Structure 1
Amino acid sequence: MEISDIAPVHPAFRYRAVAPNGIVENEVCPVYAARVVSEVQPNDDEVMDYQWVDLTTMLSALAATPWAFSPWMVLEAENRDARQALTDFVARLRG
């Protein structure tokens, strides 16, 4: 997948989380946003499904059904500054 317009969203993000299957993650994991400029071709061994949604829909879904997402994605979305950075990023792209 080719990307452009890479921007930091939550550069100091770190987390420790336990997934429903018992896997423990303890990571330093900077978060970036980017524009996808080519077709998405997920690895079938790593990705069950994906869907493009607008940011507002994604944030609403994370708040309403956090169990449906990875624990670290929920933690990222809880950060007010990261949400604002994503909102600003989307606004710049639509500009």
Structure 2
Amino acid sequence: MTTTPTSSSAVATPTETVVLLDEDGRAVGTQDKASVHHADTPLHLAFSCYLVDDQGRVLVTRRALHKRTFPGVWTNACCGHPAPGEGLADAVRRRVRQELGVEVDDLRLVLPAFRYRAEQDGVVENEMCPVFTARLADPDALRLDPDEVADATWEPWASFRDDVLAGTREVSHWCREQVLQLPEDLTGAAAAPEADLPPAARP
């Protein structure tokens, strides 16, 4: 099943600020998201979320074609950046609500220490990016924000994972690296301890 975006809201988007990190994952400052991504992007805090339904399918989304970073790339359900002082779980729920128009259940931290660096068209992502899973009981409830998501589709996790690992499915750099570390049974993935998060992300 493929989902298409709904109309964009006329409400202005507030300025987003990201948390800058040192090599040990401690906060060392903040920066406007609009200016943080460039050819020499500083290390900063982010998150990824994999959304599953009751049939064990995973939501795969295509980033909007006009996004400055990695436009048009297929990837996991949702990515984002926590605001300064915002808990990671709160940030994940906020971003899923903004991009996909839904509330999720069973939000679970699964890869607390994931980190990556990737480049496309001269723009670099450089993030400590803890990974979560969450459940959506009604896959038809999605309401995509076209400013963020160009398309979305539900796919069986097993076949999606196999194709990514085999290199026959093109996805974002971070999604490929995360799939390498995620378990075969994504819906049954054990929750990881919050103590393993970067210091700036711990409660």
TM class by smaller structure: 0.7 to 0.9
More helix by share: 1
1:44 corresponds to 2:146:
yes
Q: Paired residue for 1:14? A: 115
TM-score, L = length of structure 1? 0.75
1:16 match: secondary structure:
strand
Structure 2 counterpart of 1:23, which letter?
A: V
1:76 match: secondary structure:
helix
Q: Paired residue for 2:168? A: 65
Relative to 1, partners in 2 of residues 1:37 and 1:5: Cα closer, same or farther, differing over 3 Å?
same
Q: 2: CA distance between counterparts of 1:71 and 1:17?
A: 6
Q: Paired residue for 1:93? A: none
Q: How many corresponding residue pairs?
A: 85
Asked if 1 retains the 8 angstrom alpha-carbon contact of 2:158 and 2:184, the reply is no
1:5 corresponds to 2:102:
no
Q: CA-atom RMSD, angstroms?
A: 1.9
TM-score, L = length of structure 2? 0.38
Asked if 2 retains the 8 angstrom alpha-carbon contact of 1:12 and 1:30, the reply is yes
More strand by share: 2
Q: Percent identity?
A: 35
Q: 1: CA distance between counterparts of 2:123 and 2:185?
A: 29
Asked if 2 retains the 8 angstrom alpha-carbon contact of 1:9 and 1:86, the reply is no
